[in-house]
Chain A
């Protein structure tokens, strides 16, 4: 089992819809969770970080964490074509380095 897994994608949603990106992780003592957006040919850009169970909202983005289920998700409301990118989930625990998932490619169709 891979340490961090994500939807294989590509995920296609129409403009204005909610995009839901999922990530599961295997290390039960993981403490910190991050979502990065990466446009083609560019470097990853941090969108959200979440450390506690529940929801965290920032503009159109909501991160959801459920440590019991070892699951973290990212919801993008009112999706725009400019949201089309690969979304990387990263997980770590104290004293350890990030473990990245393979990424989910999102395509928002006008």
Chain B
């Protein structure tokens, strides 16, 4: 089945220790998104790729970076995680940017910062 896969599902890192979360998709969608979701809050968009074009949300901290080496894979790098970065990180894809296209989410990675 075509799907969005995230690894790992659970990640524990230490304060200040860099961490990388990964997302892959078999849907061949050209848009990929990274969201941060904290408890009882809506998903918050961090950035997205339209093909190789990177789009950063204005309020995304510099501590968060992303890479998309090819259509199928996208990575979220947190350079120096703080306690406030503990959250669920969601990867989503859509067939193209714009209004008519649905976003499909992966299962998420729950990040704990100790």
Contact = CB atoms under 8 A, between A and B. Distances in A.
Nearest to A97: B45
Contact of A42 (B41, B42, B102, B108): B108
Interface residues of B, number: 22
Contact of B105 (A31, A45, A94, A103): A45
A42 B100 contact: no
Nearest to A44: B105
B72 interface: no
Contacts of B97: 95, 97
B104 A42 contact: no
A51 B98 contact: no
B112 to A, nearest CB: 13
A43 B42 contact: no
Contacts of A46: 102-104
A102 B41 contact: yes
Interface in B56-114: 88, 90, 97-108, 110
A51 B103 contact: no
B43 interface: yes
A93 B99 contact: yes
Interface of B: 33, 40-43, 45, 48, 88, 90, 97-108, 110
